Structure 1
């Protein structure tokens, strides 16, 4: 039925009341046992969760901060047995203490749920990876509510119905530090990429497999995102040495992933590494090891770690 984790001292009451973490194996039984755990801080379930369940959780456990409904994390494949998307707009989280919401691969989550999530007033981490039904309208709803003033991490990888029009709204998220747009399709281009560069709080960015992101985006990021520590550009085939060299004078970048990118030379990497003194790690495709001269590889390795 459940798995309990992280018990605190039981000196203040029955043992069942002091558990802060709970994994639910049979959500239909929630009304039978959840009242015994009013102090829950974290709840996880990989089975179907209905609106009724979620509202019951919000009412019964007012201190809950982490709600993990990630289907694929447990089963390894997406499926239809996930969060009930029929009425998600009443998720019941707008006035809760929720700081983390993981709905990865809950493929029935659609735009109707975004308004409720957008009105959450304490959410810091939102994971919507693989929620295929999300569109530009959903992103606009996320960015127009209280969420835009608190969210620090947003993962919308594999949401391939979005385009530049939706990505433009993300500029409203004034506290965003980590953003994942990997595999969001052909309609996310430099228009969206340059708009993202306006978020000066960004520290971690994933653009992997966005093949229409090019040097224009990298130049904008290098110029406007002084706090950027990590950027992943795996499979961004339009990027060239000019874009990479734009980071030669960056003061914060530590990790750069360029696997499956081929339109640059070893000399480009060497120039960038010599200028970017904070860089600690570059990830390249194994095939690139054959055409980057050994002497250049050795020179780069003096400044940062090369991974293949």
Structure 2
């Protein structure tokens, strides 16, 4: 019996995005259910590095589709007048349009926007050619867009170095309901001398905006004029300083909810003080990589901005425990990034976010902090509702003991990053590190180092030998315990406990072996996995990984030297949803891997085989025929040198039109 569409839509609400996409390929009824408006409003069509002007343009699919998509991203493509039919048919349905690093002419841009009459979000990022002449939207062109941008809420012109006051004015004048403006990475000028030069006393700046520079003075005057509507501002990677932020914060009627000033080196406590005194409605504040921010800034923020839900102070290196302790005052905080703040210790965190059990905080980034394992254990016990946790590069904090506490308490995690956790081994990931079989006693590890001393022999590199023997013995013990106790019976705290995990990064954890992949990786919803530089994994572990984690779409196996062709064949056969595959530096792989990819990968978009010297460049080039593949990274051929003799010349390559997809290094 066929289920009604309403019932299918209700069921699909409980499926992850990837599962819903796969379900849509089953039959027509499921396709329409998976593309119900409930899901479509959150879907985006991404057209990246593809030829939109030929007869087989992917846009034809959307022109003829009965499904209406409201959001489009064009990235690194050429947009010409050959696409007029697409804009004619679909333009009025598009609410969000992004052009990133696109090749587009002014006339084509005007014609395109005229057809998009219901735009709410417009992002024109890094499209320098479009702004270079300074004539965009000049004269009649500006009037033509009055109807197109009347509903616009968000305007992003980030990364456009040729943006001027005049160009900015032409965009914002035709968008009366703007709520968000993004000028990140633009050449905003703050010097008062420039203002006096281009806007002499008595000049009406809105009648005569400068066609030479983009000044903060003009932008601030516009914000003052539209203050009641503006809610979100982004000025990252600009020269905004304390005085400019103070002027902005004190703008009458301005009630910001979102402010991003990431990587603004000139920003000082003066600006933060004014911001926290006047913009009391802020919910999101990003001042990461602002090196002049100190504890005093955090005191101001935590005292006044009590509505904050997200705070980023990444690499604000002057912040210490004194400032972090103030975070206890932010009762609504859901997202916190305090990574790379070298002066923060366990004591500050204990007085701040861990002063009591915190059920509100959901995302925490503490990578590169100077913590020990007791500090991480405290964090895990005090923050039970974390969804995202990044403890990468916390060398002393992440151990087999502390991660088992994470596996015990953070059962709601969907993202876990443990990069460069040298002390993590199979015992921690499987939960078998503390288990002994009945009647056995734990015996000390006997190493070659100790034996060599007993025999009065001296071994060069003896510490390395000792560590290798310890790791080998530990691996055998954990494997033996795993074989005796199935994970269903054993109630230890292993990675498998976090059943909803979607992203896992354990790169540079070189003590992780096939034992973990076999017994700890039973994660049905895992989508993104980074195993780069986990050099002990082999085909045996990959075989179990593919079987137990079928939803993987992105896998990074960079510098996993022990992987051979059979392991990659296992991956491309078993992971039907695979989109990104990174094999850089896996120097045992051969053309057999490329042949397997060509045969089995139906959805692959990105492939990195740099440093795989046994692969043929010609065969790597031929992968361009895969319809979904947009980027292949591979190495130049030769010269081939053995015994200090160049024995043959590199093979000649014939590069077809498909080479626009490929990058040779």
Scaled to the shorter chain, the TM-score interval is 0.7 to 0.9
Q: Which residue of 1 aligns with 2:226?
A: 15
Q: Which residue of 1 aligns with 2:512?
A: 239
Instruction: Please report how far the alpha carbon of residue 10 of structure 1 lies from its aligned counterpart in structure 2 after TM superposition.
Output: 7.1
Cα separation, 1, equivalents of 2:359 and 2:572 = 40
Cα separation, 1, equivalents of 2:353 and 2:178 = 42
CA deviations over 1:103-130 (Å, ceiling 9, x no partner): 1110011111222213311112111121
Rate the CA distance shift 1:120–1:5 in 2: closer, same or farther, 3 A: farther
SS of 2:512 mapped into structure 1: coil
Cα separation, 1, equivalents of 2:560 and 2:515 = 21
Cα separation, 2, equivalents of 1:206 and 1:86 = 30
Q: Which residue of 2 aligns with 1:27?
A: 242
More moved, 132-141 vs 93-102: 93-102
Instruction: Please report how far the alpha carbon of residue 40 of structure 1 lies from its aligned counterpart in structure 2 after TM superposition.
Output: 1.0
Q: Which residue of 2 aligns with 1:301?
A: 572
SS of 2:350 mapped into structure 1: helix
SS of 2:411 mapped into structure 1: coil
SS of 2:358 mapped into structure 1: helix
TM-score (norm 2): 0.41
Q: Which residue of 1 aligns with 2:325?
A: 115
Q: Which has the larger radius of gyration?
A: 2
Q: Which residue of 2 aligns with 1:59?
A: 277
TM-score (norm 1): 0.84
Q: Which residue of 1 aligns with 2:14?
A: none
Q: Which residue of 1 aligns with 2:421?
A: 210
- Confirm or deny: 8 A CA contact 1:94 1:121 kept in the other structure: no
Cα separation, 2, equivalents of 1:275 and 1:225 = 14
Which structure would you say has the larger RCO, counting Cα contacts within 8 Å and 6 or more residues apart? 1
Consecutive unaligned residues in structure 2, runs of 5 or more: 1-153, 157-171, 180-223, 431-492, 584-665
Q: Which residue of 2 aligns with 1:103?
A: 313
How many corresponding residue pairs? Answer: 293
- Asked if 1:82 corresponds to 2:355, the answer is no
- Confirm or deny: 8 A CA contact 1:67 1:100 kept in the other structure: yes
Q: CA RMSD in A?
A: 2.8
Cα separation, 1, equivalents of 2:251 and 2:549 = 55
Cα separation, 1, equivalents of 2:344 and 2:392 = 15
- Matches for 1:1-308 after TM superposition, within 5 Å: 9=177, 14-19=225-230, 20-23=232-235, 25-36=240-251, 38-45=254-261, 46-47=264-265, 53-71=271-289, 81-86=291-296, 88-92=298-302, 96-145=306-355, 148-159=358-369, 161-171=370-380, 172-197=382-407, 198-219=409-430, 220-286=493-559, 288=561, 291-304=562-575, 305=578, 306-308=581-583
Rate the CA distance shift 1:215–1:93 in 2: closer, same or farther, 3 A: farther
Cα separation, 2, equivalents of 1:104 and 1:301 = 37
